[in-house]
Structure 1
Amino acid sequence: MLKALLLENVHPLSVEILAANGVEVVTRSGALDEEELIEALKGVHLLGIRSKTQVTAKVLESAKDLVAIGAFCIGTNQIDLKSAALQGVAVFNAPFSNTRSVVELAIGEIISLTRRLTERDKALHNGIWDKTAEGSHEVRGKTLGIIGYGNIGTQLSVLAENLGMSVVFYDTAEKLALGNAQRLTSMDELLKVSDIVTIHVDGRPGNAGLFGESEFSKMKPGAIFLNLSRGFVMDNSALRSAILSGHISGAAVDVFPVEPKKRGDQFESELRGLPNVILTPHVGGSTLEAQESIGEFVANKMKDYIRTGTTTLSVNLPNLALESTTGITRIAFLHRNTPGVLAAVNNTLAAFGTNIEGQLLATRGEIGYVVTDTDSSVDIEALEALKSMDQYIRIRVMPPAAPKN
């Protein structure tokens, strides 16, 4: 029986989906450090994580039984994707399932900061009736600058325009502007004209240190800043200085360079206690609707991979969309992408009298993936011969799926 380890409180629907497909599921609430994860992955074939657990090259090299990893979130920077591919471990994530949740949080925080609701709320909780319009503005007519115009940035752009905001954006890649949004050619140009600046970039290493003292100084006096992307893209000390000086009038931060491993742990940050600053514990995508959608999406991707070998939307392996085999046996062969592998696979199978009913090949960088359906069972000797190839990474053998009711 295949065994799955699901960490960090992934949605219960994920457990139901995997268990219904014959997988023994073990769940744990928090994240694990490297040594804890290595120990926990003994005999585990499927790993489910969110953003806290770091799956390093050392972890992957130790996890000999691991077949697939599901990142129940958008980002995959917590996983060494190259090492996973070279170990033959497929990685799946949920690139679209929680975008609406992040966007709604951003909209709510933009309005709250512009109206200085944080200070009005705090005053009333302290028993002070602070009824004033001082520093409070409408968002209508303001310019929103979006850094990173991907799935989240584009959806935020549309909703912001519906609130009467003007939208400008900057992205290093060529992106089609939606609605009346205007693409700017540099981040400096965006900072100069924006009343509100929000970051929605991905977790690639090149985005580390993207926003610091220089960038804050280029923003309009009294502007508002949001970071709901990655903790390492922003210098928290620089934001603190900009808030205390009054140059930045408010900020919302949902992600941090160092985050506690589990709920209830102590949180430390230089941003605590600052006026008109909203701090949230990495909950941008944490709505019940989003978590259910993510749980269903990622669990089904893992289920499809173990049942049919399909790698559609895998972030580190060649993508093949596969149906249930019509043959007796399906051989999924991950290999280093060099010339002649397909011919060598076929010659090896032919040498052992294996007839091929269907075959698909895809490549992605240095990794190749060939899936072969045969009309008979395959000799162990044939599989051992495939494993002896210099390009071999991993081989999986699947019987046909049970017929649908």
Structure 2
Amino acid sequence: MIKILVTDGMDKGAVCTLKDMGHEVIEQFFEPEELKEQAKNFNVMIVRSATKVRKEIIDEARKTGNLKLIIRGGVGLDNIDVSYAESQGIKVRNTPKASSSAVAELALGHMFSLARFIGIANVTMREGKWNKKQYKGIELSGKTLGLIGFGRIGRELAKKAKALGMKVIYTDILGPAKDCPEYSFVSLDKLLTDSDFISLHVPGNKDKSPVIGKSEFSKMKDGVYLINCARGSVVDEAALLEALNSGKLAGAGIDVYPEEPTENLKLVNHERVSVTPHIGAATKEAQKRIGAEVVSIIKEKF
């Protein structure tokens, strides 16, 4: 039997499976100071995005030597000091396959929301306004979608966008994807100048510097839409607001923020921004797949 700490919630079916396997599972969120003490008592820690596993927590966990595995239920690992954990003999795993479709669908949802004023129309109608003449939108069909990052999520979004009649171009640090000849690989600069919609699907830079800042916005065509369901740090929020206010951007769909919960009310309340509270993987189906991957990882390790 091993002791497993689930700090940010997990699919109930997966929890039951782990218990049926004879493991002790504790589901509880701890603030950082308390987590430092609790981490000593567990063999496995399962986190999502809320819990940050930094050096101080890892150092405390090493005092007993119990902690052998940290699992991130999701894709991004920027909330875990991965290199340091592994240097201390603690394995770090994630579940990269489980949430691709869910995140891609949310990105597409933001595109629809912006193109047809769905989000802001919900707000103004509840205020008693009938702004029919102000909400002349655009169709996605025939538009160019530029994907920055062409991993699992980028590819899922590409398939869905192509089915809607969009032209899909992409850029990726790994170069052209030979197994996807139906989409065009281009340089970042060409993507910025040619795209009607730009969607980010990259993990972010280690130094937290933005992928999209003032210089990149200046290269985009007027009236472009930007979607970020990747990481908050990949877009400079001040430059984003400037681009929205100047009219360079027609709209932005944002699910992730440099600090969460975000306190950037100028961005959240902007009439041409569609916002969600980091819910890219928050579907019943994705959570079941994440849970299944977590169980598989634990079976493999123990």
Aligned to 2:36: 38
Structure 2 residue corresponding to 1:268, chosen from 257, 263, 271 = 263
Aligned residues: 297
Question: 2:286 maps to what in 1?
Answer: 290
Which of residues 51, 54, 60 in structure 2 aligns to 1:53? 51
CA distance in 1, matches of 2:227, 2:142: 18
1:305 maps to: 301
Structure 2 CA distance, aligned partners of 1:241 and 1:203? Answer: 21
How far does residue 206 in structure 1 lie from its aligned partner after superposition? 5.7
Match of 1:14 in 2: 14
Gaps of 5+ in 2: none
Deviation at residue 121 of structure 1 after TM alignment: 2.1
TM-score between the two structures when normalised by the length of structure 2:
0.93
Q: 1:203 Cα deviation (Å)?
A: 4.0
Q: Quick one: distance in 1 between partners of 2:31 and 2:279?
A: 19
Q: 1:279 to 1:124 in 2, by over 3 A?
A: same
Q: Which amino acid counterpart does residue 143 of structure 2 have in structure 1?
A: K
Listed one character per residue, the Cα deviations across residues 366-385 of structure 1 (whole Å, up to 9, x for unaligned) are: xxxxxxxxxxxxxxxxxxxx
Larger Rg: 1
1:129 is matched by which residue type in structure 2?
W
Q: What SS does structure 2 have at the residue aligned with 1:205?
A: coil
Q: Which amino acid aligns with 2:59?
A: E
Matched with 2:182 is 180
For residue 291 of structure 2, give the secondary structure of its aligned residue in structure 1: helix
- 1:61 Cα deviation after fit: 2.2
8 Å Cα contact 2:226-2:249 kept in structure 1: yes
Map of 2:103 onto structure 1: 102
Counterparts of 2:193 and 2:204 in 1: how far apart (Å)? 25
Q: Which moved more, 1:225-234 or 1:174-183?
A: 174-183
Q: Distance in 2 between matches of 1:123 and 1:232?
A: 30
SS of equivalent to 1:106? helix
**Aligned pairs for 1:122-133 within 5 A:** 122-132=123-133
Q: Is the 8 A contact 2:147 2:169 kept in 1?
A: yes
User: In the alignment, which residue of structure 2 is the partner of 1:252?
Assistant: 253
Contact 1:227–1:253 (8 Å) recurs in 2: yes
Is residue 221 from structure 1 mapped to residue 216 from structure 2 by the alignment? no
SS state at 1:66 partner: coil
CA-to-aligned-CA distance 1:63-121 (integer Å, 9 cap, x gap) = 12101111111112221222222222122211110100011111111122111222322
Conserved? CA contact 1:102–1:152, under 8 Å: yes
Q: Counterpart of 1:60 in structure 2: which amino acid?
A: I
> Per-residue deviation at 1:133?
6.7
Query: Structure 1 length as normaliser, TM-score?
Result: 0.70
Residues 162 and 78 of structure 1: is their aligned pair in 2 closer, same or farther, counting only changes over 3 Å?
same
State the Cα distance separating 1:57 from its structure 2 match: 2.2
Q: State the alpha-carbon separation in 1 of the partners of residues 100 and 207 from structure 2.
A: 22
Shift of 1:13: 2.3
Residue 155 to residue 245, structure 1, CA distance change in 2 (3 Å): same
Does the 8 Å CA contact 1:94/1:298 hold for their aligned counterparts? yes
Partner residue in 1 for 2:160 = 159
5+ residue gaps, structure 1:
261-266, 307-405
**CA–CA distance in 2 between the matches of 1:113 and 1:256?**
18
Q: Residue deviations 1:201-222, cap 9 Å, x none?
A: 0245166311111111211111
Whichever residue aligns with residue 256 of structure 2, its letter is V
Higher mean Cα deviation, 173-182 or 10-19? 173-182
* Secondary structure in structure 1 of the residue aligned to 2:5: strand
How far, CA to CA, are the matches of 1:47 and 1:212 in structure 2? 35
- The 3 A distance-change label for structure 1 pair 75 and 237 is same
Q: What is the Cα-based RMSD across aligned positions, in Å?
A: 1.7
Query: Aligned equivalents of 2:198 and 2:72: distance in 1?
Result: 28
Describe the superposition over 1:236-281 as per-residue Cα deviations: whole angstroms up to 9, x where unpaired: 1111111112111111111111113xxxxxx411312101211111
